[in-house]
């Protein structure tokens, strides 16, 4: 009976959070599309790369979804990345110099502690001021809010890892880098009203726990542009939960954001 109770609790927590860790025994093989879902939101919920979901499900574009459709969350048996990988025709591609490696993150502004390169891969390199000089990512990152950091990347869960930035309810939440809004809604329960922006390369940024959303899916935004108003997290504390993901995997925003004055 104890084991049954533990399993039931784990299922309940997973259902409440709206996200599940990769490899979890409770993670489904397929996701059934509901009204308001986008492929980017599904990818965010399960920590997947949108390009992989497109390929695994043989979609022509990320917009090819219908309510009730089943979206495969794992590659089919025998799948190889070279097998019929479908490119997103709407995506603005950046020519990648293979020798350049991954985009350059900014120095860690907190305390000059060791680089978080393990989160980025062996090819990660750092440049000052938040400028991204290698191809494949946003040209510049900036802080989405200016309040105190009250939660760090290391504090977070497997999915939901990022920064918690305190502030005042209703203050502007700004795009951390230029890009396209690919999600604006409340379909991911644990995040509340949420905005997700796709940047050049394989990067997404997300802005959660907003009071009001100021942008819609398909909007183009510039770095520093207001995209939402800060809301309450857990119903009582004004803060922004901010994440950056590369190819579906969370990375430490402090490796990308410029040092504060």
Q: Residue 139: pLDDT band by 50, 70, 90 thresholds?
A: low
Whole-number Å distance between alpha carbons of 171 and 239? 10
Mean pLDDT over residues 106-129, rounded?
Answer: 38
Mean pLDDT over residues 102-128, rounded?
Answer: 38
The pLDDT value recorded for residue 26 is 60
- Decide: 135 and 155 in contact? Cβ < 8 Å: no
Q: Is the pTM of this model over 0.85?
A: no
Q: Residue 16: pLDDT band by 50, 70, 90 thresholds?
A: very low
Whole-number Å distance between alpha carbons of 147 and 239? 8
Exposure string over 141-159, b if 16+ CB within 10 A, otherwise e: bebbbebebebebeebeeb
> Tokens at residue 55, please?
């390929």
The pLDDT value recorded for residue 257 is 96
Helices (H), the chain: 2-17, 39-46, 50-56
Whole-number Å distance between alpha carbons of 65 and 54? 11
The pLDDT value recorded for residue 158 is 52
Domains of the chain: 18-91 (3.10.350.10), 98-255 (2.70.70.10)
The SS3 assignment for 204 reads strand
């Amino acid at each position: 009976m104890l084991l049954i109770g533990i399993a039931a609790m784990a299922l309940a927590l997973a259902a409440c959070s709206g996200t599940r860790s990769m490899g979890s025994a409770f993670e489904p093989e397929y996701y059934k599309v509901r009204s308001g879902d986008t492929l980017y939101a599904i990818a965010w919920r399960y920590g997947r790369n949108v390009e992989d979901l497109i390929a695994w499900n043989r979609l022509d574009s990320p917009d090819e979804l219908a309510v009730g459709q089943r979206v495969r969350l794992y590659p089919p048996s025998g799948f190889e990345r070279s097998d019929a990988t479908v490119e997103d025709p709407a995506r603005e591609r950046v020519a990648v110099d293979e020798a350049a490696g991954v985009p350059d993150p900014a120095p860690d502004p907190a305390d000059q502690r060791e680089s978080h390169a393990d989160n980025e891969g062996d090819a990660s390199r750092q440049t000052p001021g938040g400028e991204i000089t290698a191809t494949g990512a946003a040209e510049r990152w900036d802080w989405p809010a200016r309040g105190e950091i009250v939660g760090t990347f290391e504090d977070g869960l497997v999915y939901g890892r990022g920064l918690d930035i305190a502030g005042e309810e209703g203050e502007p939440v700004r795009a951390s880098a230029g890009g396209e809004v690919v999600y604006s809604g409340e379909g991911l329960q644990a995040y509340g009203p949420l905005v997700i922006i796709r940047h050049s390369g394989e990067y997404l940024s997300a802005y959660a726990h907003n009071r009001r959303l100021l942008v819609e899916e398909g909007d183009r935004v510039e770095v520093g542009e207001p995209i939402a108003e800060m809301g309450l997290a857990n119903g009582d504390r004004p803060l922004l939960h901010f994440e950056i993901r590369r190819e579906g995997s969370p990375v430490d925003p402090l490796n990308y954001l410029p040092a504060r004055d």
